Amino acid sequence: MKHLIDPTDFTKEEIDEIIEYGEYIIANRELFRDKLRYHKLATLFYEPSTRTRLSFTSAMMELGGNVLGFSDARSSSVAKGESVGDTALTVGNFVDVIAMRHPLEGAPYVASKVSKVPIINAGDGSHAHPTQTLTDLLTIKRELGHIDNITIGFCGDLRFGRTVHSLIKALSRYKGIDIVLISPDEMRLPDYIKSDVCDKLGLRYKEVRSIEEVIGELDVLYMTRVQKERFLDEDEFERVKDSFVLDCEKLKGAKPDMAILHPLPRVNEIRQEVDADTRAAYFRQVENGKFVRMSLICKLLEWKDDPSHSMPAHPEYFQDPGRHCRNTKCICNHENVTPLFHETEGGIVRCVYCDSKV
Ligand code: NCD
């Protein structure tokens, strides 16, 4: 059975199949009205969301299916101390597929280990957000006509922005990708992505401090919000919160067909005046999110009993009672799960649940 916890759980071929099927759905919406009649999706959202939860709901409804779940874990048995695994096992009796968002990193992974139905990670802490990645890939394809051979600038909070982490991982599978990282020092991309993804897989990247110096090179500008809720130090947040703001003046230096993406919500990093620019693709991106989730749900159900679509095996994962994951936001420090580790580039040992260095 296939779950979607991390973008690399899918092969490049599987990702391309989902994107292409999403495009087919867009062109043939009426064919899908009853596609998943009598099927159910659960949305288990332990953390706030507007777009992701509603687009999952809308996607399932547009396929003729039904949706149940919660958007506030305080109203569920979680408030009584139920574990993520037990909740997934329980809800799996009621539905065909589960989308889960959780503030603890690795929570959807833990759920996938016990679940009888496919689990979709709808965002876990600062770690990953693979369905936003599918949305972003479909958007790039529709805006530019291709995903290979592009220069993409990531701007803003590259440290805590899980959508950035997941998209970079996914892009490492495409040809001719150049990445430009635009952020202040406090919000730079985590080392594990630079070493284990960019360096290891040969993804070219450079780090710069301003949008202006690179905007003319970019095919895609991926703006992000500073993730206030993930800063442990409020002063640090105050210092960086208005670091990068995109306005029409800065856009004067950009290519005429550059696409501006943003996973949304925006705070003030894109001025409203930019919305009228034809290059502003972020609201089209929202709509693509629904279509790609329709595609994903169909494919996960289609692949469920097909052994040629199983999860990647990780024989290299190991236990070690002498080691601890120090990430306070990792599920292994909150629930009774077996700490697991793996060795990555340069002999660095990382936690399997959250990828932080141990
Ligand atoms: C993002 C998220 O939740 O990570 N939003 C989304 O899912 N569209 C980005 C964010 O919250 O800044």
Q: Is the distance from the beta carbon of residue 167 to the nearest atom of ligand 1 less than 6 Å?
A: no
- In a domain, residue 256? The reply is yes
Q: Tens of pLDDT along the chain (358 residues)?
A: 999 999 999 999 999 999 999 999 999 999 999 999 999 999 999 998 888 999 999 999 999 999 999 998 777 777 788 999 999 999 999 999 999 999 999 999 999 999 999 999 999 999 999 999 999 999 999 999 999 999 999 999 999 999 999 999 999 999 999 999 999 888 999 988 998 889 888 899 999 989 999 999 999 999 999 887 777 788 877 877 777 899 999 999 999 999 999 999 999 999 999 999 999 999 999 999 999 999 999 999 999 999 999 998 888 999 999 999 999 999 999 999 999 999 987 888 999 999 999 9
DSSP code string of 14-27: HHHHHHHHHHHHHH
The owner of tokens 């306005």 is: 247
Give the residue numbers spanning the domain of 331.
316-358
- In a domain, residue 62? The reply is yes
- Atom 8, ligand 1: which residue's CA is nearest? 263
319 alpha carbon – ligand 1 mean position (Å) = 32
- In a domain, residue 23? The reply is yes
57 alpha carbon – ligand 1 mean position (Å) = 16
- Atom 12, ligand 1: which residue's CA is nearest? 225
Together in a domain, 103 and 79: yes
Together in a domain, 208 and 229: yes
Q: Is the distance from the beta carbon of residue 264 to the nearest atom of ligand 1 less than 6 Å?
A: yes
Q: Is the distance from the beta carbon of residue 51 to the nearest atom of ligand 1 less than 6 Å?
A: yes
**Mutation to probe ligand 1, out of 58, 71, 129 (largest number of atoms < 8 A from CB):** 129
Cα dihedral 351, 77, 61, 37 sign: positive
11, 61, 67, 140, 264 from 174: Cα distances, Å: 12, 32, 34, 12, 24
Together in a domain, 259 and 324: no
- In a domain, residue 69? The reply is yes
- In a domain, residue 310? The reply is no
50 alpha carbon – ligand 1 mean position (Å) = 9
Which is nearest to 41 in space by CA: 316, 300, 303?
300
The predicted structure's pLDDT at residue 196? 86
The predicted structure's pLDDT at residue 341? 97
CA distance 113 to 111: 5
Together in a domain, 49 and 115: yes
- Atom 1, ligand 1: which residue's CA is nearest? 263
**Mutation to probe ligand 1, out of 52, 138, 227 (largest number of atoms < 8 A from CB):** 52
68 alpha carbon – ligand 1 mean position (Å) = 21
Together in a domain, 226 and 324: no
Q: Is the distance from the beta carbon of residue 263 to the nearest atom of ligand 1 less than 6 Å?
A: yes
Which is nearest to 1 in space by CA: 137, 96, 124?
96
CA distance 306 to 245: 47
CA distance 210 to 225: 16
Helices 84-91 + 107-114 axis angle, to 10: 50
Together in a domain, 206 and 279: yes
Together in a domain, 47 and 172: no
Q: Is the distance from the beta carbon of residue 101 to the nearest atom of ligand 1 less than 6 Å?
A: no
282 alpha carbon – ligand 1 mean position (Å) = 12
Together in a domain, 119 and 186: no
164 alpha carbon – ligand 1 mean position (Å) = 10
- In a domain, residue 142? The reply is no
Burial 206-222 (b: 16+ CB within 10 A, else e): eeeeebeebbeebbbbb
Q: How many domains does the chain have?
A: 3
CB-based burial of residue 61 (10 Å sphere; 0-12 exposed, 13-18 middle, 19+ buried)?
middle
130, 190, 344, 348, 358 from 195: Cα distances, Å: 20, 9, 9, 10, 15
The predicted structure's pLDDT at residue 95? 98
Together in a domain, 262 and 297: no
- In a domain, residue 260? The reply is yes
Together in a domain, 298 and 327: no
- Domain containing 345 — which CATH number? 2.30.30
Together in a domain, 121 and 167: no
**Mutation to probe ligand 1, out of 132, 187, 237, 241 (largest number of atoms < 8 A from CB):** 132
199 alpha carbon – ligand 1 mean position (Å) = 26
Q: Enter the tokens of residue 79.
A: 């408030």
- Domain containing 169 — which CATH number? 3.40.50.1370
320 alpha carbon – ligand 1 mean position (Å) = 34
CB neighbour list of residue 347: distance below 8 Å, 6 or more residues apart: none
Q: Is the distance from the beta carbon of residue 52 to the nearest atom of ligand 1 less than 6 Å?
A: yes
